[in-house]
């Protein structure tokens, strides 16, 4: 007997007991691009506000001596999670970016937090 996907042995369909609730649904995937800084404020559950980043051209870079400086992002060099995102200049956690003061690695999730934080690696 060959079984078909989504069917019982008798041939009947498996049906969902209920629809998906709003809190079970996934949110939209936001990709932060390199460009003039653009933010958006979202209303979260419980009336809380979340500021998300849509585009960014500056990053808070922490240097080896512990001081932090706001520098301009020139381009995205490498993205370990997806190599095509580096070509499209999409900023994600773990991406290596070229800044005015050298290469830096993004340490936060820009699409969730509203800023780009990085650590100088060179």
| Domain enclosing residue 62, as ranges | 28-120
What's residue 104's pLDDT?
97
Percent of the chain at pLDDT exceeding 70: 98
What is the distance between the alpha carbons of residues 72 and 70, in angstroms, rounded to a whole number? 7
What is the distance between the alpha carbons of residues 78 and 90, in angstroms, rounded to a whole number? 10
Q: Is the pLDDT of residue 98 over 80?
A: yes
Say how many domains are in the chain: 1
What's residue 29's pLDDT?
87
14 found inside a domain: no
58 found inside a domain: yes
- Check which CATH number belongs to the domain holding 91 and give it: 3.10.290.70
74 found inside a domain: yes
With bands split at pLDDT 50, 70 and 90, how would you rate the model's confidence at 3?
A: low
Query: What is this structure's pTM?
Result: 0.80
Q: Is the pLDDT of residue 2 over 70?
A: no
pLDDT in tens, 26-84: 888 889 999 999 999 999 889 999 999 999 999 999 999 999 999 999 999 999 999 99
What's residue 88's pLDDT?
95
Q: Which helix (H) or strand (E) holds 84?
A: helix 83-87
What's residue 6's pLDDT?
82
What's residue 102's pLDDT?
94
Three-state secondary structure call for residue 120: strand
41 found inside a domain: yes
């Amino acid at each position: 007997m060959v079984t078909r996907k989504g069917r019982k042995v008798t041939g009947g369909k498996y049906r969902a007991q209920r629809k998906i609730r709003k809190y079970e649904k996934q949110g939209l995937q936001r990709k932060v691009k390199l460009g003039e800084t653009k933010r958006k404020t979202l209303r979260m559950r419980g009336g809380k506000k979340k500021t998300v980043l849509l585009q960014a051209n500056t990053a808070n870079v922490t240097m080896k001596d512990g001081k932090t400086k706001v520098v301009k992002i020139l381009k995205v060099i490498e993205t370990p999670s997806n190599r095509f995102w580096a070509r499209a200049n999409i900023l994600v956690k773990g991406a290596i970016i070229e800044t005015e003061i050298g290469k830096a690695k993004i340490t936060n999730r820009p699409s969730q937090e509203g800023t780009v934080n990085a650590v100088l690696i060179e």
